[in-house]
Amino acid sequence: MAEKRVLELALATPGVDEAGNVLRVPLVSADHTAQEPELDSDHMLINIGPQHPATHGVLRLVVELDGEVVMRVIPHIGYLHSGFEKLGEYRHYNQIIPLTDRTDYLSAPANNIGFALAAERLMGIEITPRCTVLRVIACELSRIISHLVWAGTTGIDIGAFTVFLWMFQERERAYNLLEAWTGARMTTSLTRVGGLMADVPDGWTDRLREWARHLPQTLDEVDRMLLRNGIWLGRTQDVGVMTAAEATNWSLTGPMLRASGVPFDVRKDQPYLDYDAYDFEVPVGEHGDVYDRYLVRMEEMRQSVRIILQALDRLPDGPINADDARVILPPKRKAMSDMESMIHHFKQVMEGVPAPAGEVYFPVENPKGELGTYLVSDGTAKPVRWRIRPPAFLNLAALPKMAEGHLLSDLIAINASVDIVMGEIDR
């Protein structure tokens, strides 16, 4: 046992005693008899999180370090596990939609839409043209919001505080739009099976157009701050590299997969809604490092702006809900005045809407990657299985591979580049 050392911590603003000596506060009192860990052994085990700002929620990383070099990362997840998939087996299809808000809570509208599309495929429901275009707008709006948060928090993890402020300012504007539409900023519960919970309010499309036209200016300013910034380049280039083959084999998804040079985007390759009718590009990186992930996400925001502007131009008038009495509630006025409608309303709310026996896997391109909704029905009003294919879960699973051999500070940058959201990873 090495000779006992007394650990001392200098005060943040050191005080001075009468003799002029700097005051120190002992962390471990000199007569403490407990054994101290040996700090001179080869490898050190460091615990980061679950309460740590750089872990973006409640991720816990146990890191084996050789000096400052990461030898191994062992992620521990599950601190936010809420049993959504189990809960879903006890709920009607429309009752599951509020649960989807709480999975990837940074892009709730996109999750709502992913689930509604899967349920509609299962029940064989066609949604209206206006609903389709509004859903595209909501998807792209949530993609922009999610990427704004990503760029802001990644900036702050690497030391770029300004980016965080600019990005969050834009995010507030986008949330104001969502709030005007749905009444909520984050837990939007935007969709219903067969339609939407509400149409957009008057004048909303003009506000969105105004915001979408100005967003690229902020993105350009952020690019001016970072794109050729020496510190940013040093912290991000060749850090956390995944080759295209590795990214495929590790089932990386979304911007992580595309930054490695694999041009797969569900919107292009298995189009849903009416994405095949829009003119937009899918940005693809080539180095698969943190820098390329930044480039890909920044360009995706610009492409989302393009899609939103096209969608606003083509937004048709008409109903937002499918004309399908199985799933759509009768208008409130009829339900309160007409006996048949009231019974219909009551039965639909109390008994739910049965889905035919069968199963569907419906992928959508969420901001984090491919969100898959796998629904299995046995013909009742509640699914037998509601499986979320969580994109951030699969991206995070590759973190140990990406971080090994890098410095501890690079681990923070790599972890930030994954764009995790624990609500979805832990579900």
Partner 1 sequence: MTGAATPNSSVATLRERFGASIGRSTVVLGATIVVVERSRAHDVFAWLRDDPDQRYDYLVDLTAVEYRDRERPLEVVYQLRSLPRNAVLRVKIELDASGPLEVDSVVDLWQGANWLEREVWDMFGVRFAGHPDLRRILMWETYDEGHPLRKDFPLRGRFSRAEQVRRALGADLAAHYSMDELSIAEAYAALPAAMRAGLAREAGSGKSEAGA
Q: Is 397 in the site for partner 1 (CB under 8 A)?
A: yes
Restricting to residues 270-309, name those near partner 1 by CB under 8 A: 270-272
φ/ψ (deg, to 5) at 74: -120, 100
Per CB under 8 A, the list member of 224, 249, 332, 405 interacting with partner 1 is: 249
φ/ψ (deg, to 5) at 354: -70, 140
Sign of CA dihedral 242, 248, 250, 251: positive
Q: Is 250 in the site for partner 1 (CB under 8 A)?
A: yes
- Helix (H) or strand (E) holding 76, with range, is strand 69-76
Per CB under 8 A, the list member of 4, 24, 86, 213 interacting with partner 1 is: 86
Q: Is 84 in the site for partner 1 (CB under 8 A)?
A: no
Q: Is 72 in the site for partner 1 (CB under 8 A)?
A: yes
Per CB under 8 A, the list member of 6, 11, 361, 405 interacting with partner 1 is: 361
Cβ of residue 253: shortest distance to partner 1, in angstroms? 9
Q: What's the rounded Cα separation, in Å, for the pair 296 and 347?
A: 48
Name the DSSP class of 179.
Answer: H
CB contact at 8 A, 277 and 260: no
φ/ψ (deg, to 5) at 274: -125, 45
| Contact pattern from residue 252 through residue 271 relative to partner 1, giving x for each residue in contact according to CB under 8 A and a dash for the rest | x---------x-x----xxx
φ/ψ (deg, to 5) at 371: -95, 115
Q: Is 62 in the site for partner 1 (CB under 8 A)?
A: yes
Sign of CA dihedral 265, 270, 275, 277: positive
| Token couple for 253 | 């998804």
Q: What's the rounded Cα separation, in Å, for the pair 365 and 140?
A: 10
Per CB under 8 A, the list member of 69, 312, 360, 407 interacting with partner 1 is: 360
| Token couple for 390 | 């969580």
| Token couple for 7 | 């650990």
Per CB under 8 A, the list member of 358, 381, 407, 409 interacting with partner 1 is: 358
Longest CA span, the chain: 91
The partner residues of 364 in beta bridges, in order of sequence, read: 371
Cβ of residue 28: shortest distance to partner 1, in angstroms? 17
Q: At a CB cut-off of 8 Å and minimum separation 6, what does 269 contact?
A: none
Cβ of residue 93: shortest distance to partner 1, in angstroms? 15
CB contact at 8 A, 188 and 113: no
Q: Is 362 in the site for partner 1 (CB under 8 A)?
A: yes
- Helix (H) or strand (E) holding 46, with range, is strand 44-48
Part in contact with partner 1 (CB under 8 A); list of ranges 177-185, 230-238, 395-403, 407-415? 395-403
- Helix (H) or strand (E) holding 231, with range, is helix 230-236
Q: Is 98 in the site for partner 1 (CB under 8 A)?
A: no
Cβ of residue 425: shortest distance to partner 1, in angstroms? 9
Q: Is 368 in the site for partner 1 (CB under 8 A)?
A: no
| Contact pattern from residue 16 through residue 35 relative to partner 1, giving x for each residue in contact according to CB under 8 A and a dash for the rest | -------------------x
Q: What's the rounded Cα separation, in Å, for the pair 249 and 251?
A: 5
Sign of CA dihedral 200, 202, 206, 210: negative
- Which of residues 223 and 246 has its CB atom nearest to partner 1 in the complex? 246
Cβ of residue 263: shortest distance to partner 1, in angstroms? 9
Cβ of residue 314: shortest distance to partner 1, in angstroms? 21
Q: What's the rounded Cα separation, in Å, for the pair 406 and 423?
A: 27
- Which of residues 89 and 179 has its CB atom nearest to partner 1 in the complex? 89
Q: Is 4 in the site for partner 1 (CB under 8 A)?
A: no
Number of residues this chain uses to bind partner 1 (CB under 8 A):
56
Q: Is 85 in the site for partner 1 (CB under 8 A)?
A: yes
Q: Is 227 in the site for partner 1 (CB under 8 A)?
A: no
Q: Is 43 in the site for partner 1 (CB under 8 A)?
A: yes
Residues that bind partner 1 (CB under 8 A): 35, 37-38, 41, 43-45, 62, 64, 72, 74, 76-78, 81, 83, 85-87, 90, 121-122, 246, 248-252, 262, 264, 269-272, 358-363, 370, 372, 374, 376, 378, 384-385, 387, 389, 393-394, 397-398, 401, 426-427
